[in-house]
Chains A and B, each alone.
Chain A
Amino acid sequence: MNYAQAISAFAQVLNHEDDTDQPPAASGLHFAHRMRHYRANCRLNRIAALQATFSTVEQLLGADFFRAMAREYVDSIPATSANLHEMGGEFPGFIAQFAPAAALPYLPDVAQLDWARWQAWLAPDAPELAADQLAFVASDDFASYRLQLHPAMQLVASASWPIADILAMHAGGPSANLDAGGQKIMISRYQWQTVSDGQWAFFSALQQRSSVGDALEQALAVDEHTDINQALLWLFQQQLVCAADRSGTVCEDTPPPHA
């Protein structure tokens, strides 16, 4: 048996997923009945990773229900990364199809929120562009700039459920009224906040590298009263702007003339 054959035989027994059966006699493995410890380790490591990532979902369901659901997930969806921190991208979709959780129809959207917060937490570092570094830009020109937003910034929308109120409730806030309708949230590295439909459209357009002017236009098309000043203030206050550029000139590397 060569190296590749031995690895392949081990993987076959590991994937066999039947802890009671005798493994295939020709596997070339000693003590193959102990393969269940590897299955258990893989499963428990992944479940623990899901617990860390989807903490709001776990709070809503309780630890036992969550573990049972997470086990179904890890048993039905093979891991696609060696890094356990990347575990769970398909979990919100899985929850939406998971019949025992159907009594909590907002759960998939809450899971999406947990996942987005996790992505914000894990995102790589990026440079910060302070608002005063743009001071030299004439206000008429600003609309033609495109902003490079921080990789930690995440946008999450629920069409039907008050996900911001649910999240606030789990951080010790007042009880959420589930009939309050859908909510939209912007997430930065360490904060999150509810945003209006227009602001959400503005941020989405900026994330897709629209110019400030085009993003503004899209926001006002959604709601002509959109508070764009507040949206821009949030971006700079939360250090979410990494660079600004126009026709390929990156502002981050260009010192203001008065500096």
Chain B
Amino acid sequence: MKTTLPQLSGLGLRSPHLPTVLETRPDVGWWEVHSENYFGGGQAVAQLLQIRRDYPLSLHGVGLGLGRLGELDARHLAQLKQLAERVEPSAISEHLAWNHFAGRYFNDLLPVPRVQGVVEHLASHIMQVQDALRRPILIENVSAYVGFAEEIMSEAELMVELARRTGCGLLVDVNNFYVNTLNLGLDAEAELARIPGELVEEIHIAGFEWFEGTAVDTHGAAVSTEVCQLLGNALQRWGHKPVLLERDTQLGSFADLHQEYMQLEQMIKKPQANTCGVYK
């Protein structure tokens, strides 16, 4: 096992909800936070440690940029390592993305070109992170708005190859595969079918929004019916997996988000009570 996450659903935890969560200790299987939000000290980390005492926790990085050219940022990696040592998370994940070129950072998750050399490049960075953290990480597929010519493999194929080469686990984001279906014309169902269940350690689902004819992965809407269906099919193939509901923008009350979470949990536990998509 690359993680010790329970086979339950989890929920993304964002700072506006922290006071409610600390006060009410809601029924949630586990929480996931963005690692970079806890690179400092003070109240933020103290509250995270309180959460950690009562729940399993997953650290999800958005800034390491595994696909960047050149070296990874040693300070960023050291901060991640220090945080991991403090909170002892059940899982640590990063995106298959890059964010830096020629001295300049791009504060977004840019897609990795799956061209000649991609496997070697990413495998070396993943190994570096795993060596530093002394544990396997999970790598996650991203949503993309543009594609590269001369690609030699699909994103699912890249993930599987990297898992085999580095021993990392996979975090499969079903919404990202679906967004790429809408934007780039790939076949999400086929991509999911390329991933063997034993490599999947975690699943993400979230909502996307349309902007000027492009599906944008905002994590700012309810999960779509199509994504629920893809999730249902994937779980049928892979068996139970920890599934995380992510919500980052247009964050409403915690009660609303928790209700959506409970519906997801119901759907996964009792398919006949399905309130999301056409899971069977």
Contacts and interface: CB of A to CB of B under 8 A. Distances in A.
A82 B107 contact: yes
The B interface is mostly helix, strand or loop, or mixed, namely: mixed
B110 A46 contact: no
B42 A121 contact: yes
A41 B116 CA distance: 28
Given A10-B110, A34-B146, A42-B107, A82 B73 contact: yes
B184 interface: yes
Contact of A7 (B113, B150, B184): B113
Interface stretch (B4-12, B97-105, B161-169, B254-262): B97-105
A258 interface: no
Nearest to A5: B115
A78 B43 contact: no
Interface in A96-152: 121-126, 152
Contacts, number: 137
A48 to B, nearest CB: 9
Interface in B106-142: 106-108, 110, 113, 115-118, 121
B118 A3 contact: yes
B40 A124 contact: yes
Interface string A1-42: 111101110110011000000000000111110110110011
Contacts of B184: 30-31
B183 A34 contact: yes
Interface in A220-236: none
A238 B67 CA distance: 43
Nearest to A49: B107
B145 A10 contact: no
A122 B148 contact: no
Contact of B39 (A45, A78, A83, A189): A83
A123 B42 contact: yes
A19 B43 CA distance: 41
Contacts of A122: 39-42
Nearest to A31: B146
A2 B37 contact: no
Nearest to B15: A52
Interface string B34-71: 00110111110100000000000000000111011100
Interface residues of A, number: 43
Given A123-B42, A190-B43, A34 B214 contact: yes
Max count, chain B CB within 10 A of own CB: residue among A11, A83, A87: A83
A81 interface: yes
A8 B149 CA distance: 14
Nearest to B145: A34
Nearest to B148: A6
Nearest to B63: A82
A123 B73 CA distance: 19
A125 B148 contact: no
B149 A29 contact: yes
18 contacts: A6-B115, A7-B69, A8-B69, A11-B101, A11-B106, A28-B148, A28-B150, A29-B147, A31-B147, A34-B183, A49-B107, A82-B36, A82-B73, A82-B100, A87-B107, A124-B40, A125-B41, A189-B43
Given A1-B115, A6-B150, 11 more contacts: A3-B69, A4-B117, A28-B150, A30-B184, A34-B145, A38-B108, A45-B108, A78-B105, A79-B104, A82-B65, A123-B40
Considering the complex of A and B, which 3 residue pairs feature the smallest CB-CB distances, nearest first?
A125-B41, A6-B113, A82-B63
